[in-house]
Every structure is written in structure tokens, then in C-alpha cells.
Amino acid sequence: MINVLIAIAPLFLVIFVGALLERTKIADERWSPVLNNFALRIGLPALIFLSLSQMHFVFSEELHLISANSLLLVGSFLLAYIIGKIIRLTPENFRTFFICLGFSNAAYLGFPTLTQIFGEGVLPVGSLIVAVYLFWIFTVGIGFLDYTQMRSHKHVIKKISSDLIKNPLLISVFLGLVVAGLNIQIPDILGKSIDMLATSVTPVVLVVIGLFIGRSKIGEPKKWIPVFLFSLMTLMAIPGLLFFGIKLFGLDMSQFSTSVVIAAMPLAITPFALADIYKLNKGFIARAIVMSTILSIISIPFWTSIL
């Protein structure tokens, strides 16, 4: 476990630098939107496209990977729905819990962590798993939020389709799979340019996470109790369901190690950006991002060491 912790320590060191920049006022509120937009609209799409375009796979051979991660995401939504109904959450908290439980930091923190632990060769598989996450989050997840917000539910499918078509991350998934499937050779100049953008995204997103943590306020201690419980669910219970499910069905754990590590990622930043649009609990999301990211310093090495 110590070796794993040492391997991912540079990631959290960069996050700490981002927090320090915010605390010392070297960075101001203008930094985050610019860096965040670069990562979401340029850097991460470039990384996903490049990883998938260089991947040689047969869909039928990757079906087990796609199915396992799809079941995990759909199961997370179902679990959130059941728990929300049982404990009778308010509509605001119910929507927040529903979208956040499965919305892990699969791409933002997932890619840097995977490459740090497994090396660059894991990126194609990681990109495929992230593609599965994106699909379910932006269909079932966002679709449910749209459904609860709309007075007329007949336009939900149209709204979801529109969001999917305009999402740069999903566009990069589609283009990457097309290039890989048709065995299209990317010109060397273009490939190197995309690679430069893809390489730059890791430090950028880590600094953004640090900036967010740096500006987060501690708040009342009692408000952190549900946040701590939620963080344990995302960091331990969700990857635990996948881990023991694989064991239960007697599957080869080595084929799913990447999936388990991605499932153990903390809460992503994106739900915070969606809070105003879908009337989510912004305070809870902010605290959950901070808490789960800090606790992931322990949880990620834990899951990696037992795989």
C-alpha cells in the first residue's frame, strides 16, 4: 500500500499546490472557469479521442467490461433512488444524492491516477470505461434531473438527445471509436498536436481541484456528518459492490482492476456546475467534493493494493 501511495503522491501534491495558490491569493476567481473550460472542452476530449483512436479492440471482446460498468452505474442510480425514498430526502437533496452517487471523478482524477499506477498503456481501456460512465450519466442521470424539473415530460428525450450531441466528451468518444474501428491513420502532425493537448490536461485539472479545495470554507461541523457518510459510500461501498460482484461471479479480477480503481474515485466537480440549473444542494456538493477528494488519498491506495 505504501508503494501505491508513493506512486499517486505527485497527484495530490499538485492539488495541494493549487489549493496553496488559492489561499495565498496568487490565483483569483478568474482562473477556475478558464482552466475548467479548457479541460472539459479541449484537454479531456483530446485525451479520450487519442486513447480510443489508438485502441485495437473487438466490441464483443470488451462486452464484459462495458456490461460490468453499465450495471454499476445503473445500480448506483437505483440504489440512490431507493435510499432517497426510504430516508425521505427533500426534493432538493433527493436530486442531489441521485446524481452525485454515481458521478465519480472518472475522467478528471481517474486518468492521472490510472497512468500513475498502471502506466500509459491503460489509457485506452480507461477511456472506454469513462465513455460508459459518460453515457449513463448524461442519459439516465441528467435525464432524471430534467424529468423532475420539467412541467411537460414529453420533451425529456429531445432534451437528453440535444445534451448528448453537444457534449464534447461524448463527441470525442464517438470520433475515437470511429477512427479506431475504421483503422484510420491520423497524420503525424495532427497526432502530435492532439497529444500535446492531451498531455497538458492532467496538471490543469489537478490544479483546478486544488483551487476549488483552497476556496472551500469549513462550515459547521454537523453539516460534515452526512458528507462523511456519503463519501464512504462513494469511495468504499460503490467500488466494493463491483469488487465483490466480480468475486461472486468468479470473474478474472485482473480484467476489472481498472474499473474498480475508477469506481473508487471521489465526487466529480461537474455536479457543482449543474447545481443552479437543476436546483441541487450546492453546499452539500461542495463539501462532498472536498471530503471525498481528501479521503481518496487513503481509499485509492487501499483498493489498488488489494487488487
Contact 180, 52 (CB under 8 A): yes
CA distance 38 to 185: 26
Instruction: State pTM to two decimals.
Output: 0.75
Sequence-distant (6+) residues with CB within 8 A of 279 are 92, 95, 149
Helix (H) or strand (E) holding 27: none
Query: What local confidence, expressed as pLDDT, does residue 155 receive?
Result: 63
Convert the pLDDT of each residue in 66-106 to its tens digit: 899 999 999 999 999 999 999 999 989 999 999 999 888 77
Which pLDDT belongs to residue 4?
Answer: 60
Rounded Cα distance, 234 and 155, in Å: 32
Contact 69, 224 (CB under 8 A): no
Q: Please tell me the predicted confidence (pLDDT) of residue 146.
A: 76
- How many CA atoms does the CB half-sphere of 190 hold within 13 Å? 7
Task: Retrieve residue 213's grid coordinates.
Answer: 479545495
DSSP letter at 24 equals T
Q: Which residues contact 146 (CB under 8 A, 6 or more apart)?
A: 156, 159, 160, 278
pLDDT at 56: 66
Go through the domains of the chain in sequence order and give each one's CATH number.
Answer: 2-302 (1.20.1530.20)
Would you state the pLDDT for residue 273?
Answer: 66
Q: How confident is the model at residue 57, as a pLDDT?
A: 62
Answer yes or no: are the C-beta atoms of 290 and 213 closer than 8 Å.
yes
The residues near 202 (Cβ < 8 Å, ≥ 6 apart) are 111, 112, 115
Residue 46: per-residue pLDDT: 87
Residues of the chain with pLDDT under 50: none
**Tens of pLDDT, residues 253-269:** 888 889 999 999 988 87
Give 226's contacts (C-beta < 8 A, 6+ positions apart): 284
3-state secondary structure of 267: strand
- Looking at residue 104, the DSSP 8-state letter turns out to be B
Q: Report CA dihedral (137, 141, 147, 149) to the nearest 10 degrees.
A: -100
